[in-house]
Structures are given as structure tokens and as C-alpha cells.
Amino acid sequence: MNLSINDEITMKLVHYLITKENYQPIVVAGLENEIWLENTEKPFSVIRINGNYIHNNEQLEYDIFKSKAVIKEIKKKTLSFNIDTLSILLDVGDNVNIEKAEDKHITTCSISSIKDLRNNKTINEIFPDMKEDKLDTKDPLNFFINVTKDINESTSKKSQLYEKIFSKKIPIITYVLIAINVLIYLLDVAGIIGNGLFYMSGEYFKLGQYWRVLTYAFFHGNIIHIACNMYSLYVIGSQVEQVYGKVKYILIYLISTIVAGLLSGVLNTAGSIGASGAIFGLCGAVLYFGYHYRLYLGNTLKTQLIPIILINLFIGFTLSGIDNWGHIGGLIGGMFASLIVGVEGYTETKDRVNGVIVTTILIGFLVYMLLFR
């Protein structure tokens, strides 16, 4: 088995980027001899490896034009304003001036040998550990087998993670929350309990009735109010429970409820009841999750979730009787809570610590505003 220099360079690059830097392949239709890899957490969100022959400067310009067209589609899918891309050319003619490949967000470099790969300034600055990724290339067959094995193991782990996250699960916690809300509504309607002691009010909170910052979210004003909220909870809550898990879901729900209640108490002069603040928090959690998995969920966020959030906020600001400050507080609380619990496969410990800090500061500030303003 014989490997060309281009094949060897490509396999070394792909092996390192997938197994060490957690890049993942992007399927781009209609392009031959090109490999596109994506990791939005890296300085270069996209890396493109092009094995096609670039024989003059005009073709280089066309190559950049073609790359921009692909990147434009990736930007739409990932909801990104700018994507910094590293374009690696493996077969460039001697009369091609790479320095002419100027673009604000596309860095182009040429690699024609293993020595170039080891000594390339751009690659070494971004990926200094690549030199340590040593593979024995003396035996082409073993080299091919080892690279393929490592890449398959890495992609298999990612597939297992995605299967764990996106596999269909029974939304038990969502059903329990809906049941609790419906039960409390029925008890309220029957006159067994009343919402007078439980709705959120800044004035009563100042008197030491701190339980209101949680209990208000389980009471509703009428049948339409609870029907709309429980339907929304079923749709959004089921998604949050699936991708975050039950324990994280409960934490997100509670933190969203607290932040929504506190912000409502600070800025809303009337009392507040209903689960909509917590539901907006769940929307915030889906936004946070979708940001990290936007290569897969970008279109859903853009065409479904974000428009729904904006429409509901608009309705809240234009119609009376809607606690929009609670909605906004829930949305913020949900995103901060998601930072605390983290997104599996992406969030690091430092991110969770930062989430705890900013959420604690936010809640502390709102409590201070309620008690001492």
C-alpha cells in the first residue's frame, strides 16, 4: 500500500484535529478532495484541508471565493456573525503567491511536505502540540490502520455522547411539575387553598414572606392561564429534561423561578403568579444548549425558539396584565442556571464556577433591591 504525500499530510492533520482538538467533520456537498472540520470553541472555528491543485493566482482567488460561499452557509447554520477559517492548501503551483490570499476571516497556508507541516508558523502558533502527535509512517498500511482506528474511536465516543443526549426519554419531571400545578389550581378553585399567601409581591417579601419567590410559580389565575402555561411547559420542559437530565432540569427550573420572581418583585408593582417565568427560564436553557450544539440546532433556534421568545416578549410589553419582567428574569435565570449545570461535552469546571458566581451576584443584588431600596 502506497500513500501519497498529500494523503499522509491529510491523515496526520485530520487525526490530530479530531482526536486531540475535538474538531468534527462537516459534510459539504459538491466539493471533491476537500475536508471541512468544525469546532466553534477554537480560534479557528473551521479548518478546511484542500487537496485540489491550485495552479495560478486566479484559481487561488476563485478558491477563496468558493470557500466564502461555504462559510456563509455554515454561518447561517451556526448563527455566527463571523467565522475565522484556516484554509490549508496541499497542492500549490510554484507561481502561486499565497500572500495574495488576503481575507479578514480566512487565513490561507500552503503545506507540501511533512517538514512543512512540522515547521509551518501558522499551524505551530495555533496548535503547538501537533509536533507531539507522532505517528509511525514507515509502514503505510499500519499508519493507515492506526489513524483510522484512532479517528473511529474518537468519533464513536462523540456518537455515544450524542446518543445519550438526544435519545428519546420519558419526561417524568415535566409530568410531575404539570401534575403539581394542576392539583394546586384545582385546590385553589375549590377554595381549599388560596393564592393570597403565595403570590409574589415585593411588599410582602420585605415583610419576611420569602417563600413567595417560589410558591407563586405554582398558582394560576384562570383556566386559560394554566392551560397555556402547562402546554408550554410540556413542549419546552420535555426538551430541557431530555438534553440536560432530570437533576439539572430541576435546578434550572428552580433558579429560573427565583430570578423571575425577584426581578418581578423589584420592577413589577402588581403581584405575580404563574409558571411562565420558569418556562422562559427553560427557553433560556434551550438557547444556551443550542449555542453549543448550534451546528445541529441552529436552524431550529433561528426559525422556532428565538421567534417564539421575541413574540411573547413583544406581547408582554404591548398588553396589560402580563408580567413581562418576570419573563425576562426567567430567561436570564435560565441561561445563568444552564451555565451552572453545564452542557455535557462542552462546559468546563471554570464555566460552572463562573455561573455560580454571576448567579449569586444577580440574586444577591435583586434581594438587596427588594429589601433595602
* Superfamily classification of domain 168-372: Rhomboid-like (1.20.1540.10)
**What is the arrangement of strands in the sheet containing 24-26, beginning at the earlier edge strand?**
24-26, 34-38, 46-54, 85-92, 106-110
Q: Give the global pTM.
A: 0.78
* Helix ranges (DSSP H) in the chain: 5-19, 57-78, 114-119, 121-126, 140-166, 172-189, 202-206, 212-215, 223-244, 246-267, 276-292, 294-300, 306-318, 324-341, 349-372
User: So what's the pLDDT on residue 95?
Assistant: 84
pLDDT on residue 299: 64
Q: 220 and 185 in contact (C-beta within 8 Å)? A: yes
> For residue 139, what pLDDT is reported?
57
Residue 231 neighbours by CB distance under 10 Å: 12
Q: Is 292 a catalytic residue?
A: no
> Taking each helix axis from N to C terminus, what angle separates 276-292 and 223-244, rounded to the nearest 10 degrees?
30
175-180 long-range contacts (CB < 8 A, ≥24 apart) are 177/233, 177/237, 177/253, 177/275, 178/230, 178/233, 178/234, 180/218
What's the farthest any 2 CA atoms get from each other in the chain?
Answer: 87
Residue 276 among the catalytic residues: yes
Residues, the chain: 373
Q: Look at residue 154 in the predicted model and tell me its pLDDT.
A: 67
By DSSP bridging, strand 34-38 and strand 46-54 are antiparallel
3-state secondary structure 41-106: CCCCCEEEEEEEEECCHHHHHHHHHHHHHHHHHHHHHHCCCCCCEEEEEEEECCCCCHHHCCCCCE
Grid coordinates representing 307 are: 421567534
**3-state class of 208 per DSSP?**
coil
Options 276, 292, 320, 338, the catalytic residue: 276
pLDDT in tens, the chain (373 residues): 566 788 888 888 888 888 888 888 887 767 788 888 888 778 888 999 888 888 888 888 888 888 888 888 888 777 777 888 989 888 888 888 887 777 788 888 888 777 777 777 778 888 887 766 666 556 555 656 666 776 767 666 767 777 777 788 899 999 999 999 999 999 999 999 988 899 999 899 999 999 999 999 999 999 999 999 999 999 999 989 998 999 999 999 999 999 999 999 999 888 899 999 999 999 999 988 888 777 666 566 666 677 888 888 887 777 777 889 999 999 999 999 999 999 887 778 888 999 999 999 999 999 999 998 7
- Cβ contacts of residue 354 below 8 Å, gap of 6+? 339
- Is 43 exposed, middle or buried, given 0-12, 13-18 or 19+ CB atoms closer than 10 A? exposed
CA 166, CA 297: separation in Å to the nearest integer? 11
Ordered DSSP codes for 8-19 = HHHHHHHHHHHH
Look at the block and give the residue holding cell 385546590.
187
Q: Could you tell me which residues are beta bridge partners of residue 278?
A: none
Alpha carbon 25 to its chain centroid, in Å, reads 18
Question: What is the pLDDT, as a whole number, of residue 360?
Answer: 97
Reduced to 3 states (helix: H, G, I; strand: E, B; else coil), residue 200 is strand
User: Closest by alpha carbon to 95, among 59, 65, 131, 121?
Assistant: 59
Residue that the C-alpha cell 508558523 belongs to: 121
> Do residues 37 and 14 make contact, with C-beta atoms less than 8 angstroms apart?
yes
pLDDT, residue 145, reads 65
Q: How far is Cα 28 from Cα 36, in angstroms, rounded to an integer?
A: 7
User: By C-alpha distance, which of 324, 250, 322 is closest to 285?
Assistant: 250
Check residue 98 and give its pLDDT. 81
